[in-house]
A and B are shown apart, each in its own frame.
Chain A
Amino acid sequence: MLTLPVHRIIPFSNVEGIGNRTSIFVQGCNANCLYCHNSETIPMTAEGIRNYTVQELLDLIKGNMPFIRGITVSGGEATIYHEFLTELFRDVHKLGLTCYVDTNGFFDRQKIQSLIAETDKFLYDVKGIGEGLKRLCFTDVLLNNDHRAKGFQQRFIETEEHMLNLEHLLTEGRIEELRLVHIKGLYDEKAVVRRIAESLSAYSEIPLKLIRMHVRGLPKERIQFLKGTVPKVSEFDALAKYAKSMGIAKVLTIG
C-alpha cells in the first residue's frame, strides 16, 4: 500500500493558499537550497516522521471539516510523491475540498501529469535561473541528498524546465501564486524577474510574493555559506520596484 512520509501537519494554516487550510509537510526533497528554512524536511527519511496511508490522511482531513476549505501539500517537495497524492487528492475532492501543492518546480511534467490534473492550484516557488542554481539548490555541501533531481544540470540549468513547467501550469490556470526568494549573487535577479514578468503578462491576477532572504533561525553551517548573499533592504525594495516596472501587477513584498 502506498504511504506518504509526513514531517508535520498543521490543522489550520492561513499562509498556504487562500482561506483556512490544512497543511501537510512531506518529508524528502529533490533540492537542497542553501537558505532552506525547513532543512530538516530535506532527507528522504528522518526520525519522528510518520508514514500515512491515504485513508489515514483522509480521516484526519475529515476531522478538520467544516473549518477548512482545502488542503495544501508542502515539504520537502510534494511532487516526489505524485502517485500517492493523486490518489489522496481524488478522495479529498469528493469531500468538496480543494487541493493545493507547494512546489519548487523541479519535476517531470509528463511523469506527474495525473497529479497536475488533480491539483486545483500550485504555489510555485521560482528558485532562479542559470548556473547559480547548482550552488543554490543542488549542492552537496550540507547533506548528501540522494534524491536530488535527476539530470538537473541539463534539465533545470540548461533547458530551464522548471520555467517551462511554470508556463504550462499558467496556461492550465493552475497557479495561485509565485514566490521568489531574493538572494544575491546566485542568479541574475533582474533577468529572473523579467522572465517571471513575461510569463505572468497574461495573468495579472496572479501575485508574485517577493521575499528577502534572511538567515535568522538557520543552522550555523548553512549561514556560513550565505555570507554576502543577503540583500540590503534598499536592494530588495529596488527589485520590487523593478518587478512592478516590468508589468507585474501584484507584487507582495515580505522583507
Chain B
Amino acid sequence: MESTIQDVLSIVKSPNMTVQQKLIGLGNTSERLFSPIELLGYTEEEMSYLNNQMICDLNEGYALYRPRYIVPDYGVFIEKGCEFLEIDPPKDLDECLDGLLILYTHVPSITSFPVFIGHLDRLMEPFMRDETEDYVKIKRFLNHIDKTITDSFCHADIGPYETTAGKLILKAVMELKNPTPNMTIRYDKDKTSRSFAELAAKSCLLVSKPSFSNDVSYNKDVGDHALCSCYNALPFAGGAYTLLRLRLGTIARAAASLEVLLKELLPEVAGHMLSMMDKRIKFIVEESNFFESSFLQEEGFIDKDNFTAMFAIIGLADAVNAMLIAEGLDETFGQSARGDIIGHQIMQLLEKLVNSHKGQYVERTGGHYLLHAQVGAALHEEDTMNTPAHRVKVGQEPILIDHLKHSAPFHQYFPSGTGDLFAFDQTYVDHPDAVVDIIDGAFSSGYRYITTYMKNTDLIRVTGYLVKKSEVEKLRKNQVVLRDTTVFGMGTDDNNQVFDRKLRQ
C-alpha cells in the first residue's frame, strides 16, 4: 500500500514504539511514498488486485533497495575473515562468535535484521575446546542475539549431524527461553542421531524450538539451502528477492463456483502477481545497485546467481470452505474428503501457473519462482478471513492422526517452505521418543517441516515465528515492547486465535 507524509508523522509520534522501531518504520514508509505505477511500472489492473486485497505485498515497499531474504554463507568469514570489515579469520571460539555478531549488523533483509544467522553448530564446532567454558560463551552469544536482533524472523540452523556445539546450543536455548533466534534442526534420520533428535524434540516442546525440517526433501528440491525467517527454505549463499502472496480465501469469496475460481479468477489474479514479481525483481537487480554496493556479494558471502523469489499463498482453508458452501456441503477443510480434492485442485493449478512462468534472474531455481505457504504477519483485517498457509482453521482441526494424514500431501507443493505445528500436553516432555516417532512418520508421509510446542508455556510459536505471550499482553496494554514481531503475534492471535490451537493428547 502507498504511504503518505501523514504516516511519517504518526510513526514519529507513536506512544509505543522504540526509537529503533520508529527508524525502521520510517524507512519502510519512505519506500512506499512512491507510486508503484510510476516507479515499477505496475498496471492499473495489477493495482486493483492489491487494492481489493486479493494480492498482498506485505508492505514490502516499492523503492526496493535490498532483497527480502538474504542467506549468507558465513563459512566465508570462518575461512577468510572479512576484508570490508577488516576482521581476520577467527582462531578461537571467542573470535568466531564476536565476528559473527559483527557480521549480523551488516546483513540486511526486509526487516532490516538478518533473517539467517548461519548453521551455528557447523560454524562453531571447529572451535570447541572445553564444554564448560564453551557453553558459557555460546549462551552469552545467543542471549546477545535476542537482545540486539529484536525481531524473531531471525533464524539459526543446526544439524543434521550431532555435534558438541549443537548440543550446547540446545542446552542454552532451553535455559534462555528467548524468542530469538528462531531455530531449525535439519533432520535426516539416517544422519541425525536418535538422541540428538530427541533432545531437539524436548527443546521444541519446552521453548518452541528448534523445529524439524525434512533435510532429504529440501536437499532434493532446493539443493544447497538454509532455513530462514519463519521456515523458508532458500538457496544457500543467496536468498529471495521478494514475496507476494495470494489471499485465496478472499479470491474464492468472489467466485460463484469452483469452475469460475479455477478457470477464470485464479489464473487471472496469479498472472498479475507473477508480473508484479517480475517488476520488483527487475528493480532490485537493475536499479537498486544492491549487488554492486554490497561487500557480501563482493566477498562471496552471497552470489546474485543464488537468488530466487517466492510466490506465496494464504487462506487455502477459507477458499475450500467457501467452495464447500457453494456446493451445499456442511463440511470444513481438514475434515472433508471433498475439501481435500478441492484443495489439491487449487494447488495443482497454482503449481502449473507458477512453473510455467519464466522469471528473470532466478536461474538458480530453474528460471522459476518457488511456491511458498505463507503464515501471516500482516495486520490487515482481510487476514481474519485467510487462515495461514494450507493449515486447517483453528477450531476445525481433526484429531492428530487425521490431521497429519490430511496435511502431508499439501507439503509437496511448497519447495520454498511450509510447515504445520501442533500443541502437545505436558506428558510428551518425558517422551520425546514419541514425538520423534510422529516426526519420522510425518516426514515419510511427505511432510517438509513440523514443529511442536506446549500450550501452557509463555514462549509460543504464533505461525512461523516465536513470541512471548507476556509481551503480547504488554502490547495490548499499549506498553513499549522490545521485539517488533510481538505486534504481529498480537494481530495474528486477534485474527486467527492461534493461542488456542487444539491440544494434542
A-to-B contact residues, CB < 8 Å? 11-15, 18-21, 63-69
Contact = CB atoms under 8 A, between A and B. Distances in A.
B37 interface: no
A137 B88 CA distance: 74
A18, A19, A20, A21 interface centre (most CB from chain B within 10 Å): A20
Nearest to B400: A12
Interface stretch (B284-292, B363-371, B441-449): B441-449
A66 B401 contact: no
Contacts of A63: 401
A21 B433 CA distance: 11
17 contacts: A11-B400, A12-B438, A14-B427, A14-B433, A14-B434, A14-B435, A19-B434, A19-B437, A20-B433, A20-B438, A20-B441, A63-B401, A66-B440, A66-B444, A67-B404, A67-B441, A67-B442
B431 interface: yes
Interface residues of B, number: 18
Given A14-B427, A14-B431, A15-B427, A64 B437 contact: no
Nearest to A63: B401
Given A67-B401, A69-B437, 7 more contacts: A14-B435, A15-B427, A18-B433, A20-B434, A21-B434, A67-B440, A67-B441
Chain A contact residues: helix, strand, loop or mixed: loop
B441 A66 contact: yes
B442 A15 contact: no
A18 B435 CA distance: 11
Given A12-B438, A20-B438, A64 B401 contact: yes
A11 B401 contact: yes
Nearest to B401: A11
Interface of B: 399-401, 404, 427-428, 431, 433-435, 437-438, 440-442, 444-445, 504
B400, B401, B404, B428 interface centre (most CB from chain A within 10 Å): B401
A68 B427 CA distance: 17
B442 A19 contact: no
B438 A67 contact: yes
B431 A15 contact: yes
Contacts of B401: 11-12, 63-64, 67
Contacts of B433: 14, 18-20
Contacts of A21: 434
A88 to B, nearest CB: 20
B427 A65 contact: no
A18 B445 CA distance: 22
A11 B437 CA distance: 13
B399 A67 contact: no
Contacts of A11: 399-401
Given A11-B399, A11-B401, A12-B401, A67 B427 contact: no
A14, A18, A64, A69 interface centre (most CB from chain B within 10 Å): A14
Nearest to A65: B441
B202 to A, nearest CB: 12
B187 to A, nearest CB: 15
A120 to B, nearest CB: 15
A244 B438 CA distance: 34
A66 B433 CA distance: 14
Contacts of A66: 440-441, 444-445
B180 to A, nearest CB: 30
Contacts of B440: 66-67
Q: Enumerate the 5 nearest inter-chain pairs by beta-carbon distance, A residue then B residue, closest first.
A: A67-B441, A14-B434, A20-B437, A14-B431, A20-B434
B399 A68 contact: no
A20 B504 CA distance: 13
B359 to A, nearest CB: 37
Contacts of A64: 401
A65 B441 CA distance: 7
